[in-house]
């Protein structure tokens, strides 16, 4: 079954610290992997999109990595800020019964404290 699992479910860190969020998927083969940031009560905003041939992609203080062999991705946040408090969602686009679909993880809820 094609699945996307994220860990941890929630995370609390102090402002200025770094953190890494994990995404493991069983989708194979896959087209691309996306990371989104979703503030409470708002729509998700795209952070990165990586195809299977890309290992790393950065967007400011956000760096996503992808290991297609182990089917793992991580999102590293550097020098966290209070505004980083949000849910981070991993999405894999892959084939399901002959068509491609988006498979969403349940997200990691990050809280940055002053």
Nearer to another protein, 19 or 34 (CB): 34
Nearer to another protein, 3 or 83 (CB): 3
Residues 46 to 65 in contact with another protein, rule: CB under 8 A: 46, 49, 51
* Contacts of 36 by beta carbon, 8 Å cutoff, 6+ apart: 44, 45, 46, 47, 88, 89, 91
- Give yes or no for residue 99 binding another protein (CB under 8 A): yes
Pair type for strands 10-14 and 108-113: parallel
- Cβ(19)–Cβ(112) under 8 Å? no
Closer to another protein at the Cβ: 24 or 31?
Answer: 31
| Nearest residue (CB) to another protein, 42 versus 61 | 42
- What are the tokens at 87? 């849910």
Candidates 2, 32, 65, 78: give the one binding another protein (CB under 8 A). Answer: 32
- Positions of E strands within the chain: 4-7, 10-14, 19-25, 32-38, 45-51, 56-59, 62-67, 72-77, 86-96, 99-104, 108-113
**Is residue 97 a contact point for another protein (CB under 8 A)?**
no
Any contact of residue 105 with another protein (CB under 8 A)? yes
List residues near another protein by CB under 8 A: 4, 31-32, 34, 36, 41-46, 49, 51, 89, 93, 99-107
């Amino acid at each position: 079954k094609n699945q996307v699992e994220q860990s941890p479910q929630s995370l609390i860190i102090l402002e200025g610290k770094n953190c890494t969020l994990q995404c493991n998927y069983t989708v194979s083969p896959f087209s691309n992997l996306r990371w989104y940031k979703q503030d409470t009560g708002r729509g998700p905003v795209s952070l990165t999109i990586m195809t299977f041939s890309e290992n790393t992609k950065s967007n400011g203080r956000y760096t996503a990595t992808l290991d297609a062999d182990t089917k793992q991705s991580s999102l590293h946040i550097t020098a966290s800020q209070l505004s980083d408090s949000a849910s981070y969602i991993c999405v894999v686009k892959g084939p399901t019964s002959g068509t491609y679909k988006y498979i969403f993880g349940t997200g990691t809820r990050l809280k940055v404290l002053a």
